[in-house]
């Protein structure tokens, strides 16, 4: 670094000598056509150049050299450092003062410009450092949030696994106690009906665990973008009636109303998956509405090539600020939003899966309020065409009519 | 077993309330169920059960609030159903006056044992409204007037604080007592965070009372929660 600086300075002195020599020689060669003012200005320019480029020391050196050249070659008597006329003394002094002052001024202007540039670079560097630090902090915060989310999801999953296990364990231990009880140890009197009820509970809770695990897998497939749609031509009536058959037990204490528009076009969808969506919506509608109230399932054509289906209940409306969140996985209305349910709370996966299925069909699902109270969950699906996603077994012709 | 003892079961899981209702009925208890704290509180006021078994996480009114409201008007024994990961809530429930807890998933035999112990304690307490002169339970006998303590018919000398702690344990035998509850009862409200006081005094009591202090049979540790006295 020091060697470079030394070389830079030495170059300034060399250029000063060369520059002054070239300018002086050129002016001298022009001879009597040039007056002393022109000579002084020519040399002054050289001094300014050196001072600006190589700083004040080189500038001072160039000023002294220019003054000597001016005196030696251009002020009579020529070829000596002696000056005969007092006018020329004044000219020489004026030249020296001007050269030194102008040289120092231009050098200092250059220095200031350099300092300003260095300041700018420093600010840029600090800004970049600050930005990096901020990015690192945001990254750390995002990681923390992601860890928190993971832990919340784990809590939700363990709760959903443990709840059916609790019922199973309590039932089994009661049955075991009854089976082991001897006649003289009549602590427990479990009648056959109670035994059957316990076994039914075990059966139902095993199904619930199995359903929960299936849902987890399906959600994982949706999130990984690996949901395999088996698209075929199917009609809305079949989709809805298959969902209704499944929901028979859940909806036995509700009044079901159907409003399916006549002559709806057939849809090119994965009927089983869409029926799952309808089932989930009916299940939720029943769960979050009073026993005996009505559930309305409707389907109609909505614009060109789109079918709209909806399920409405007469329960508590979902608050506006939760209408997006209810589609988040593991969001549970009873636990996270204090919404009353007439049944056990769900797994918090039903609507997340429904949304995944609808979106995989390029459709959209949302929740809206209902006139006179209650909630309406709506989804729209494009009818689809032959260019839609095909599967291996997809070789059926489009049927005529619905 | 107490004939026709009434038990109120509170849980938002209908399957679990079904199991508990059937299992408890088969042991001769009268059972009613509620799906949330609010309806449980209403049922409690109408029906006056002898014991309440409640879940902690419930809609409308959770188990903690239910414990608080029940304790404001009643000394009914409360057993809390909790899951791993709910330790803080469980301790809060015990501090609010819950008597015992069972961790999910549990065997019915375990819950029934807790139910019987809580009911026994409650019936003893209601039978002796005035403070007794003699406290007797299991291997322990304390004469409150002469401050004479005997364990397995052997006289034991205790410091005043040890005596207070033992009598508190005796009058709450079988019940889970949180660190806070014990500290507040023996040392006063300003000492509820001084767990080390408790550790030292429980250690001393064990040395004087237990046959093998390293493997205590009377003063049992409930990890992270407190102690349970098993006379």
Tens-place pLDDT, residues A327-351: 988 777 666 655 655 555 566 788 9
Q: What backbone torsions phi and psi does residue B48 show, to the nearest 5 degrees?
A: 50, 65
Residues of A with CB under 8 A from a CB of B: 155, 158-159, 162-171, 173-174, 177-178, 187-191, 194, 197-198, 201, 204-205, 208, 334-335, 338-341, 343-345
A45 domain residue, yes or no? yes
* pLDDT (0 to 100) of residue A229: 85
Same domain, B117 and B211: no
Domain with B106 in it: what CATH number? 3.40.50.2300
Torsion of CA A260, A262, A266, A269, to 10 degrees: -10
For residue A184, pLDDT over 60 is answered with: no
Cross-chain residue pair A164–B15, CB shorter than 8 Å? yes
Same domain, A41 and A168: no
Question: A251-305: per-residue pLDDT in tens?
Answer: 888 999 999 998 888 889 999 899 999 999 999 999 888 888 999 999 999 888 8
Same domain, B71 and B182: no
- Residue range(s) defining the domain that contains residue A72: 2-127
ipTM over 0.85: no
Interface probe for B, chosen from A152, A166, A287, A291 (most Cβ of B below 10 Å), is A166
Instruction: Tell me which residues of chain B, numbers 18 to 77, contact chain A at a CB-CB cutoff of 8 Å.
Output: 18-20, 22-23, 25-28, 57, 59-60
Same domain, A177 and A267: no
User: Confidence band (pLDDT; 50, 70, 90) for A355?
Assistant: very high
Cross-chain residue pair B19–A167, CB shorter than 8 Å? yes
B1 domain residue, yes or no? no
Domain boundary residue, one of B127, B150, B174 = B127
Q: Does pTM top 0.90 for this prediction?
A: no
Question: A133-147: per-residue pLDDT in tens?
Answer: 999 998 888 888 888
Chain B hits for A189, CB-CB cut-off 8 Å, are: 26-28
Chain B hits for A159, CB-CB cut-off 8 Å, are: 83
Chain A hits for B1, CB-CB cut-off 8 Å, are: 187
- Residue range(s) defining the domain that contains residue B105: 6-127
Same domain, B147 and B76: no
User: Confidence band (pLDDT; 50, 70, 90) for A399?
Assistant: very low
Same domain, A378 and A243: yes
Residues in chain B: 231
* pLDDT (0 to 100) of residue A1: 60
Nearest residue of chain A to residue B34 (CA atoms):
A342
B63 domain residue, yes or no? yes
Section B109-116 average pLDDT: 92
B107/A contact by beta carbon, under 8 A: yes
Q: How many C-beta atoms lie closer than 10 Å to residue A326's C-beta?
A: 23
Section A190-214 average pLDDT: 90
For residue A122, pLDDT over 70 is answered with: yes
Domain boundary residue, one of B127, B162, B181 = B127
* Tokens matching residue A91: 């000219």
* pLDDT (0 to 100) of residue A82: 81
Same domain, A211 and A255: no
Same domain, A212 and A295: no
| B211 or A393, higher pLDDT | B211
A137 domain residue, yes or no? no
Cross-chain residue pair B105–A170, CB shorter than 8 Å? yes
Burial (Cβ within 10 Å: 0-12, 13-18, ≥19) of residue B112? buried
User: Confidence band (pLDDT; 50, 70, 90) for A120?
Assistant: very high
Interface probe for B, chosen from A164, A170, A192 (most Cβ of B below 10 Å), is A170
Cross-chain residue pair B109–A194, CB shorter than 8 Å? no
B30 domain residue, yes or no? yes
Which among A163, A170, A341 has the least Cβ separation from residue B20? A170
Question: B52-108: per-residue pLDDT in tens?
Answer: 999 988 877 888 999 999 999 898 999 999 887 778 888 888 988 899 999 999 999
- Please report, rounded to a whole number, the percentage of residues in chain B having pLDDT higher than 90: 45
Domain boundary residue, one of B73, B107, B127 = B127
Same domain, B99 and B212: no
A398 domain residue, yes or no? no
Q: How many structural domains is chain A composed of?
A: 3
Same domain, A19 and A107: yes
Nearest residue of chain B to residue A343 (CA atoms):
B14
Which among A190, A191, A344 has the least Cβ separation from residue B14? A344
Domain with A329 in it: what CATH number? 3.30.565.10
| A164 or A91, higher pLDDT | A164
Chains A & B: contacts with CB separation below 8 Å? 94
Cross-chain residue pair B13–A344, CB shorter than 8 Å? yes
CA atoms within 13 A on the CB side of A293: 18
Q: How many C-beta atoms lie closer than 10 Å to residue A289's C-beta?
A: 23
Cross-chain residue pair A345–B105, CB shorter than 8 Å? no
Distance (Å, rounded) from C-alpha B61 to C-alpha B41? Answer: 9
B13/A contact by beta carbon, under 8 A: yes
Same domain, B159 and B51: no
Distance (Å, rounded) from C-alpha B196 to C-alpha A231? Answer: 68
Domain with A186 in it: what CATH number? 1.10.287
Same domain, B103 and B176: no
For residue A394, pLDDT over 50 is answered with: no
Question: For chain A, what is the mean pLDDT?
Answer: 84
Which residue reads 């188990």 in tokens? B63
Chain B hits for A158, CB-CB cut-off 8 Å, are: 83-85
User: Confidence band (pLDDT; 50, 70, 90) for A9?
Assistant: confident
The conformational region for residue A330 under phi > 0 = left, psi -120 to 50 = alpha, else beta, is left
For residue A153, pLDDT over 60 is answered with: yes
For residue A183, pLDDT over 70 is answered with: no
Contacts of B194 (CB under 8 A, 6+ apart): B183, B187
Question: For chain B, what is the mean pLDDT?
Answer: 88
- Please report, rounded to a whole number, the percentage of residues in chain A having pLDDT higher than 90: 29
| A189 or A246, higher pLDDT | A246
Chain A hits for B27, CB-CB cut-off 8 Å, are: 187-189
* pLDDT (0 to 100) of residue A389: 46
* pLDDT (0 to 100) of residue B169: 92
Bond preceding residue A383 cis, omega within 30 of 0:
no
CA B53 to chain centre: 12
B144/A contact by beta carbon, under 8 A: no
Section A177-203 average pLDDT: 81
């Amino acid at each position: 670094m020091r060697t470079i600086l030394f070389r830079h300075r030495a170059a300034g002195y060399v250029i000063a000598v060369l520059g002054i020599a070239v300018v002086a020689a050129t002016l001298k060669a022009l001879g009597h056509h040039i007056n002393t003012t022109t000579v002084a200005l020519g040399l002054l320019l050289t001094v300014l150049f050196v001072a600006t480029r190589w700083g004040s020391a080189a500038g001072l050196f160039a000023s002294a050299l220019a003054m000597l050249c001016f005196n030696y070659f251009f002020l009579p008597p020529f070829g000596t450092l002696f000056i005969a006329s007092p006018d020329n003394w004044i000219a020489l002094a004026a030249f020296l003062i001007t050269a030194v002052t102008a040289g120092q001024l231009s050098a200092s202007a250059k220095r200031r410009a350099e300092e300003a540039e260095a300041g700018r670079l420093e600010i840029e560097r600090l800004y970049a450092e600050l930005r990096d630090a901020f990015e690192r902090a945001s990254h750390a915060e995002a990681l923390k949030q992601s860890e928190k989310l993971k832990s919340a999801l784990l809590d939700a999953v363990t709760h959903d696994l443990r709840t059916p296990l609790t019922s199973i364990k309590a039932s089994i231990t009661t049955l075991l106690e009854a089976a082991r009880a001897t006649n003289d140890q009549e602590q427990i009197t479990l009648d056959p009906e109670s035994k059957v009820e316990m076994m039914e509970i075990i059966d139902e809770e095993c199904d619930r665990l199995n359903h929960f695990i299936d849902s987890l897998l399906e959600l994982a497939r949706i999130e990984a973008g690996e949901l395999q749609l088996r698209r075929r031509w199917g009609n809305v009536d079949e989709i809805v009636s298959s969902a209704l058959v499944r929901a028979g037990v859940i909806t036995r204490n509700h009044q079901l109303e159907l409003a399916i528009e006549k002559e709806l076009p057939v849809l090119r969808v994965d009927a089983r998956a869409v029926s799952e969506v309808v089932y989930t919506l009916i299940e939720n509608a029943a769960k979050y509405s009073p026993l005996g109230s009505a559930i309305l399932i409707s389907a109609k054509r909505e614009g060109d090539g789109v079918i709209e289906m909806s399920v409405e209940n007469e329960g508590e409306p979902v608050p506006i600020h939760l209408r997006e969140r209810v589609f988040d996985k593991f969001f549970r209305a009873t636990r996270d939003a204090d919404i009353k349910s007439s049944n056990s709370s769900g797994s918090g996966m039903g609507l997340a899966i429904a949304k995944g299925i609808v979106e995989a069909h390029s459709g959209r699902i949302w929740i809206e309020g209902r006139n006179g109270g209650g909630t309406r969950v709506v989804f729209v699906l494009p009818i689809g065409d032959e260019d839609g996603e095909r599967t291996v077994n997809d070789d059926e012709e489009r049927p005529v009519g619905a | 077993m107490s004939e026709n003892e009434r038990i109120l079961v509170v849980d938002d899981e209908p399957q679990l309330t079904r199991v508990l209702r059937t299992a408890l009925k088969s042991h001769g208890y009268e059972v009613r169920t509620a799906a949330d704290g609010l309806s449980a509180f209403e049922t409690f006021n109408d029906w006056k059960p002898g014991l309440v078994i409640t879940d902690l996480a419930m809609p409308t009114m959770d188990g903690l609030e239910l414990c608080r409201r029940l304790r404001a008007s009643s000394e009914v024994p409360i057993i809390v159903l909790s899951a791993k990961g709910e330790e803080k809530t469980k301790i809060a429930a015990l501090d609010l006056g819950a008597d015992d807890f069972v961790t999910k998933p549990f065997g019915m035999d375990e819950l029934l044992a807790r139910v019987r112990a809580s009911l026994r304690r409650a019936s003893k307490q209601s039978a002796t409204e005035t403070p007794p002169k003699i406290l007797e339970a299991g291997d322990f006998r304390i004469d409150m007037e002469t401050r004479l303590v005997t364990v397995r018919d052997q006289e034991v000398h205790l410091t005043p604080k040890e005596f207070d702690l033992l009598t508190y344990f005796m009058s709450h035998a079988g019940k889970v007592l949180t660190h806070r509850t014990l500290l507040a009862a023996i040392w006063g409200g300003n000492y509820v965070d001084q767990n080390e006081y408790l550790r030292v005094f429980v250690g001393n009591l064990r040395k004087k009372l237990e046959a093998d202090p390293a493997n205590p049979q009377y003063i049992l540790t409930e990890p992270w929660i407190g102690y349970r006295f098993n006379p």
